[in-house]
Structure 1
Amino acid sequence: MNLYDISSVEVGEHFYWTIGDFQVHGQVLINSWIVIGILIAMAVLTTRDLKAVPEGGQNFIEYVLEFIRDLTKTQIGEAEYRNWVPFVGTMFLFIFVSNWSGALIPWRIIELPNGELGAPTNDINTTAGLALLTSLAYFYGGLNKRGLGYFSKYIQPTPILLPINILEDFTKPLSLSFRLFGNILADELVVGVLISLVPLVIPIPLMFLGLFTSGIQALIFATLSAAYIGEAMEGH
C-alpha cells in the first residue's frame, strides 16, 4: 500500500460537495450550520427580554456564561481573562452542542444521496480546524502580550530544549484534535453497532454515558485551550 492509498482511507461514508477543484464533506457543513443555528436561536430566545432578576432561559444562559467566565479566569488569570471569554465560550458551546447532537439525534435515519450525517466533531477536519484556531489564539495572545520576547520561551530554561519546545507547538493541536475526534467517533460507532444488534435495551445506558463523555470532552478542549493561551501570555 503506497502513501496515496493510505491517504484515501476513510472512516464511514461521506457526502461530498465539489467546489472548483476541491471536495468538501457536505455532511459536516450541514451539521455545523445546524449547530450554529441552535446556538444563535438559544442566544436570541434567552436574551430578548432581559430582566434585573433573571428567570427561565435568562437564568440558564447567565449560569452558562458564569461557568465559562470562571473557567477562563482560572486558566488565564484575573488580569487578562475577560478578552478571551468569547473565544473560550464559543469553543466550549460549539463542541458541547455538536457532541450532544451526535449522542441524541439519530442522524443516520436521514437519507442522503450518498454518505451519512453525524456530529460535526466526529470528523477529523472539524476537530483539526478547532485545534488550529486554538494554536493561532495562543500565538496571538503571546505575541500581543510579550512581543518578540514571546519566542524566548523556546530556549528556556536552556537552549538545549529548543527542538523539544518547538515540537510541543505541533503536539498541542494534534493531541487536541485527535482526542476529541477519537472519543466522539468511538461513542457513535459503539452506539450505532449496538442499536443494530440489540435495538431496545442495551444502547440506552450507553447513550447516557455518551452524553456525559461528550460534555467532558467539550470541557477538556475548552480548558486546555484556555490553559495554552494563559501559558503563552505568562511565558512559563
Structure 2
Amino acid sequence: MTYEREVWHFMGLEFWADTLVATWITMAILLVVGIMVGRGATAGVPGRLTVAFEMVLEFIKNLIAENADYKKMGALLTYILTLLLFILFSNTIGLFPNFTFGLGGIITKENMVSPTGDLNATLALALLTIILVQIWGIRYNGMHYFSHFLTPHWLFLPLHLIELITKPVTLAFRLYGNIYAKSVLMGVLLKFIPFGLIFILGGFIPHVIWLGFSLFIGAIQAFVFTILTIVYVSQAVNASEH
C-alpha cells in the first residue's frame, strides 16, 4: 500500500482503520448472505444462493468426516463453516476497488484492504483455533489431555510447548503472507493501468487473469486454514490414543 494508513485509537490500542472497516464490511456481507439463505431455505423452493450454500455446507460436513470423527466434531460444523466463509470473503474483498469521491467524480487508485492481509487479524484467527483445540481436547480427554505434553518423557515438555506456540504462528503467517503478497502485487498492477481506465473500470477489470488467480489463491488459503483447524482439533480429541 502506498497511501498513508489512518490509525484509530481505542483504550490505548492502535488499529488500522482500513482493516477494521474491511472487516466490518465482510461481516455485514456474511450477515446479509446468511439472512437471504435462511429466508430461501424456508420459502419452499430454494433459490440458487440457498442451493450454493447447501453445497458448501455439505462440503464442510464431508471435510470433517474425512479428517476426524464426525460424532465428536459435528458440533463444530457451524464454526468451521463460518471460519471458511469469513476467510474466503476476507481474502476476496481486497480485489475490489476502494472508491473515493473527488471533484472529478468517483476514482480509485488503490484496492480495498483484505482483513487477512493484516497480521493482527490472522493471529487472532489462529489464536481462536488453538483455544478451540485445548477446549475440545479437555472435553473428550479431561485433564488427562495435558499428559500428552509429557510423552514420551517429561523432558520433551519444552518441545511440546514450542509446538503449541508454533502452530498458531505458522497458521497466521501462512495466511497473512499469501494475502499480503497478493495485495502488494495488485497495487503494483494498478499503477500500470492508463489513467482513463481508472475512472471507467475501477482499476481491476483489465486484470481478469490476475483476478482469477487471486480468487484461486484466496480460496486455497481459506481451505488450508480450515483443514488445518480440523486436523489440529482432531489430534487434540484423539490425544489419549497417542
Same fold judged by TM-score > 0.5? yes
Contact 2:94 2:111 in 1 (8 A): no
Deviation per residue, 1:124-146 (Å, 9 max, x gap): 01000000000100011101111
> Which residue in 2 is equivalent to 1:23?
14
| Partner of residue 56, structure 2 | 64
TM-score by length of structure 1 reads: 0.86
Local SS of the residue matching 1:18: strand
- Indicate whether 1:81 and 2:73 are aligned: yes
Alignment check: 8 A CA contact 2:94 2:112 kept = no
SS at match of 2:5: coil
Query: Which blocks of at least 5 consecutive residues in structure 1 are unaligned?
Result: 1-9
Equivalent of residue 97 in structure 1, options 79, 86, 89:
89
Q: Does 1:43 align with 2:47?
A: no
Between 41-50 and 129-138, report the one with greater CA deviation.
41-50
- 8 Å CA contact 1:191, 1:203 repeated in 2: no
Q: How does 1:47-196 map to 2 (within 5 A)?
A: 47-49=38-40, 50=42, 54-103=46-95, 105-107=96-98, 109-110=99-100, 117-196=112-191
Task: Identify the range of structure 1 (47-56 vs 158-167) with the bigger mean alpha-carbon deviation.
Answer: 47-56
**Are residues 53 and 204 of structure 1, via their aligned partners in 2, closer, same or farther at CA, if it must alter by over 3 Å?**
closer
Change (3 A) 1:162 1:37: same
Confirm or deny that 1:203 pairs with 2:203. no
In structure 2, how many angstroms separate the alpha carbons of the residues matched to 1:217 and 1:14?
25
Q: 1:13 to 1:165 in 2, by over 3 A?
A: farther
Is 1:110–1:117's contact at 8 Å kept on the other side of the alignment? Answer: no
CA contact (8 A) 2:111 2:187 kept: no
TM-score by length of structure 2 reads 0.84
**Match of residue 201 from structure 2:** none
Query: Does the 8 Å contact 1:180/1:221 carry over to 2?
Result: yes
Separation in 2, partners of 1:169, 1:134: 11
Gapped runs of 5+ residues in structure 2? 102-109, 198-204
Shift of 1:228: 0.5
Give the number of equivalent residue pairs: 222
User: Residue 25 of structure 2 is aligned with which of 22, 28, 34?
Assistant: 34
Instruction: State which drifts further: 142-151 or 15-24.
Output: 15-24
Number of the residue aligned with 2:235: 231
Superposition deviation, residue 11 in structure 1: 9.2
State the distance in 1 between where 2:3 and 2:86 align.
23
Q: Give the Å deviation of 1:53.
A: 5.9
Letter aligned with residue 88 of structure 1: I
Deviation at 1:13, TM superposition (A): 4.0
Where 1:150 maps in the other structure, the secondary structure is helix
SS in 2 for 1:79: helix
8 Å CA contact 1:132, 1:173 repeated in 2: yes
Output the amino acid matched with 1:118.
Answer: V
